[in-house]
Amino acid sequence: MPTLPRMNNDTVATPSPADLRERLVEDLISDGVIATPSIAEAFRTVPRHVFAPGASLEEAYARDIVVVKRNEHGTPISTVSAPEIQAGQLEQAQITPGMRVLEIGSGGYNAALIAELVGAGGHVTTVDIDPVVTDRARSFLDEAGYGQVNVLLADAEGGVPEHAPYDRIIVTVGAWDIPPAWTEQLAEDGRLVVPLRMRGVTRSLALEREGDHLVSRSAHVCGFVKMQGAGAHDERLWLLRGDRVGLRFDDGTLEQPSLLDGVLNTEPAAVWSGVRVGRTEPFATLPLWLATTLPEVPPVARTPAVRSLGGV
C-alpha cells in the first residue's frame, strides 16, 4: 500500500488519485477480488474519478456505487458499479489482448477498464439506451484518453450486430432473460457475462458458447440496476404486514391474495434447522439452490421499513 504524503505540520495531506487507486487495488487483491495482474494494472491506470465528477475523490474510490442518474421515484437507474462487482465480472470474462468486446449498459469507466485489457489491437463497444448516459460516457472516455472506445445509443435487446462477432459480451444491468441476439453475436467459444435474475436471486453468470447453447462456468453474487427498454421486466410485490414484509413474484401473481390477510399477525415462532454456518463459511449459493429447487416458493422481501428497524 502506498505511503500517504504528509505535510510539514505532520498533518496527513489529501491522497492523490494515484494513491487512492493503489489503495483500492491493494484492498481488492487482499480480499481475493482481483487475482489477475492485468486487471489490477487496469484499475491502477484508469482514473475512476473522471467518470464520477459529482463525487469527491474519496467517494469515487470507495468500495461502493456512485449514482449517476435516478428516476422520478428516486431509484438509481444508472450508476458506476462498486469496484468489486466490476473486478469480479472482469475476472469472470477473462479478457485478453486483441479481443472484441461488447459492453451492454454504459457509463464509461468499465469500458475504459476493458480497453486497457484488450490493448491497442482490441475493439470495445459500449451501448446504452439512455442518451444522457451515452453522452456522459463519450465525454468522460475522451477526457480520460479512451477515444477509441465506440459509444452507441441503442436498445441492446438486439445486440450490436455491426461490430459482431464478439469474443466477450459483458452486461452491466440486471437482466431477466438472455435475448437470442446476444448468443448469436458471440464468437465461437465466446463468453457472455450477465447478471441474471432467477426467481428473485441475481447472480453474475459467466456463460461460454458451445455450438448453439451456453454453458455456465461461474456464478457470483452481484447487484445491478434493472434493464430498461424491450428487456425490462416488472415484478409484483404483495405486502403482508403493512409496509414491512412482502412476497415478491418475478413471474405470475397471487390468484387470491385475500387468503394471506392476517397471516403474519400472530406471534412469531422460530424453528431451528440444526444447520450451522461458520462466520467465514460462504453460503451465497443457498438462495440460488432454494430458488431452483423450490420454484413454487416466492422470495420474502424486506421493505425499507423493516431494514430501518434492523430487521433481517
**How far, in Å, are 126, 219, 286 from residue 281 at the CA level?**
37, 17, 12
Give the separation between CA 176 and CA 195, rounded to whole angstroms: 9
Q: In a 3-state reduction of DSSP, which class is residue 83?
A: helix
Instruction: Specify burial of residue 1 (Cβ count, 10 A radius: 0-12, 13-18, 19+).
Output: exposed
- Determine contact, residues 114/106, Cβ cutoff 8 Å: no
Task: Answer whether the bond into residue 165 is a cis peptide, omega within 30°.
Answer: yes
Pairing of strands 300-302, 123-128: unpaired
| Cell numbers 482490441: residue | 122
d(CA 305, CA 242): 10
Q: Nearest CA to 103 among 60, 151, 143, 175?
A: 151
Distance CA 77, CA 130 (A): 10
- Does 218 participate in catalysis according to the annotation? no
Locus of grid cell 410485490:
237
Contact 203, 195 (CB under 8 A): yes
Catalytic residue among 30, 78, 81, 308: 81
**Active-site annotation, residues:** 81
